Amino acid sequence: MSGNQHTHGPWRWEVNEAGKSLSLVGGLRPKFDLTIIHVRWGMGSGSMLVRGTTFDDMNLLYKLHERRDWIEPFPGRGHHAHWCASVNHPDMRLIAAAPELLESLTKLFEWAINIRAAMKINDSFTEKLINRVDKTISEATVG
């Protein structure tokens, strides 16, 4: 492959309250060894602002580090929660799942192309759906 590539998944968010930072990390081997996004707060640094999750606060942005209800320890790693915890926010979970979603969509797309050819499916709905998926994959992978 050539050109720019996304960081291999899985991805996850890590909160370091002691270091006042938030990172989106990924990588295959070892897992989570590559930093994709890093934000610090305090001492003149910025804050990650995240949209509220309910109907009443969907137009409000919150400083992530001030929303304790969105920060939780990784399973089995509670003793490290003060310097490495997870983010439990629906938009941030979706972002972290992006590599696996892209990989699954690509495999499903390839399967659908083969099935369509094998079964000689030629309807407009299938054609539009395949074109839309192909465009989505291209937008995510071609810079």
What does the DSSP assignment read for 51-109? E-SSGGGTT-EEEGGG-GGGEEEPTT-GGGTTTSEEE--HHHHHHHTHHHHHHHHHHHH
pTM exceeding the 0.75 threshold for the entire prediction:
no
Q: What is the pLDDT of residue 57?
A: 83
Exposure string for 86-116, b = 16+ CB within 10 A, e = fewer? bbebeebeeebebbeebeeeeeebeeeeeeb
| Side chain identity, residue 58 | M
What stretches in the chain show pLDDT beneath 50?
A: 1-2
C-alpha R_g of the chain:
19
HSE-CB for 49 with a 13 A CA cutoff = 6
Question: Can you give the pLDDT at residue 133?
Answer: 95
Residue 23 β-bridge partners: 14, 38
